[in-house]
């Protein structure tokens, strides 16, 4: 299981990477993609959608499970990874790189304070097993 440093994590297994320019990228973690199994479908929001911390921004579906996607941050959606609509299994093979889901312009940095770093997330995941 791989949890890169430099990313922040949620209890619902999303990750976010915050850039200097107030933009953040969001996706799901290695643990999430492994639990789901091969992903067959994903639903992502429209550009411009306003997100609150922990509001749902989409759905990811495998043959045995469906998961809502919860936003780790508050802001507006600026980019959506449309490649995932044709190749949803990219999320499985590259959850942190090519499997990125949305880019968000942060409204504030408040929500980031509640997120976990890589070490804390790893501990959290180990505790679940």
Partner 1 sequence: MRYIPNTGQIFESMLKEVGFQSTEELFSTQIPKPAQFKGELALPLGASELELRNYFKNLADKNFSNPQKNFCGAGIYFHYVPSIVDNLSSRSEYLTCYTPYQAEISQGTLRHIFEFQTYLSSLTKMEVANASLYDGSTAFAEAVLMAKRIYPQRKNVLISKALHPEYKKVAITSTNQFGLEFLEINTLSSGKTDLRALSTALDNDTLAVCLQSPNFFGVVEDLSELSKILKPINLPPLSVVVIAEAMSLALYEPPGSFDVDIVCGETQSFGNYPGFGGPGVGFFTTKEKYVRNMPGRVVGQTLDGQGKIAFCLTLATREQHIRREKATSNICTNQGWCALRSTIYLSTMGSTGLREAAEICYSNAHYAAEKLCGVRNIKLAFAGDFFNEFVIEISDLNNRFQNALNKGIVPGIPLSRFGANPNQLLVTTTELHTKQNLDDLVESLGE
Partner 2 sequence: MALIKEEGTLFEIENPQKQAVKLPPISVPFKRPTQFRESALGLPQVSEIDVIRHYTRLSNLNYNIDTGLYPLGSCTMKYNPKINDEIAALDGFKNTHPFQPALLSKGALEVLARLQELLAELTGLPYVCLQPAAGAHGEFTGVKVIRAFLTKNGNPRKKMLIPDTAHGTNPATSALCQYEVVRVPNGPNGYLEVSDVEKLMDENTAGIMITNPNTLGLFEKNIVEVCKVIHSKGGLVYCDGANFNAIMGWSKPGEVGVDVMHLNLHKTFSTPHGGGGPGAGPIAVNAQLEPFLPIPRILKKNHETVLSYNAPHSIGSVRLAYGNFLVLLRALVYTLTMGRDGLKQASSAAVLNANYILHHLKNYYYLPFGKTCMHECVFTDKKQNESGVKTIEIAKRLMDYGFHPPTIYFPLVVPGAMMIEPTETEPKHELDRFIEAMKSISIEAKEKPALVQNSPHTVFVKRVDEVSAAKKPVLRDGKKNIF
Q: Does position 85 bind partner 1 by CB under 8 A?
A: no
61 binds partner 1 (CB under 8 A): yes
CA 9, chain centre distance (Å): 8
Residue 66 in contact with partner 1, rule: CB under 8 A: yes
Interface with partner 1, residue 63, by CB under 8 A: yes
Q: How far is CA 95 from CA 30, 32, 86, 91, 113, in A?
A: 6, 9, 16, 5, 23
Exactly one of 68, 83, 110, 119 binds partner 1 (CB under 8 A); which one? 68
**Cβ nearer to partner 1, comparing 47 with 65:** 65
CB of 40 to partner 2, least distance (A): 4
State which residue, 38 or 68, has the beta carbon closest to partner 2: 38
> Contact positions toward partner 2, by CB under 8 A?
38, 40-41, 61-63, 88
With b for 16 or more beta-carbon neighbours within 10 A and e for fewer, the 102-129 pattern comes to: bbbebbeeebbeebbebeebbebbeeee
Closer by beta carbon to partner 2, 43 or else 61: 61
**With contact defined as beta carbons under 8 Å apart, do 25 and 16 qualify?**
yes
Contact 12, 70 (CB under 8 A): yes
For 104, what's the count of Cα atoms within 13 Å in the CB-facing half-sphere? 32
- Residue 50 touches which of partner 2, partner 1, none (CB < 5 to 8 A by kind)? none
Residues at the site binding partner 1, with contacts judged by CB under 8 A: 41, 61-66, 68
């Amino acid at each position: 299981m791989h949890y890169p440093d430099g990313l922040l994590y949620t209890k619902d297994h999303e990750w976010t990477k915050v850039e200097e320019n107030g933009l953040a990228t969001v996706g799901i973690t290695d643990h999430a993609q492994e639990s789901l199994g091969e992903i067959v479908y994903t639903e992502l929001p429209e550009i411009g959608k306003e997100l609150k911390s922990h509001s749902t921004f989409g759905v990811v579906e495998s043959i045995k499970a469906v998961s809502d996607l919860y936003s780790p941050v508050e802001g507006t959606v600026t980019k959506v990874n449309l490649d995932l609509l044709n190749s949803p299994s990219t999320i499985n093979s590259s959850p942190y790189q090519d499997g990125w889901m949305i880019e968000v312009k942060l409204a504030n940095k408040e929500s980031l304070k509640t997120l976990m770093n890589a070490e804390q997330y790893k501990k959290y995941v180990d505790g679940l097993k």
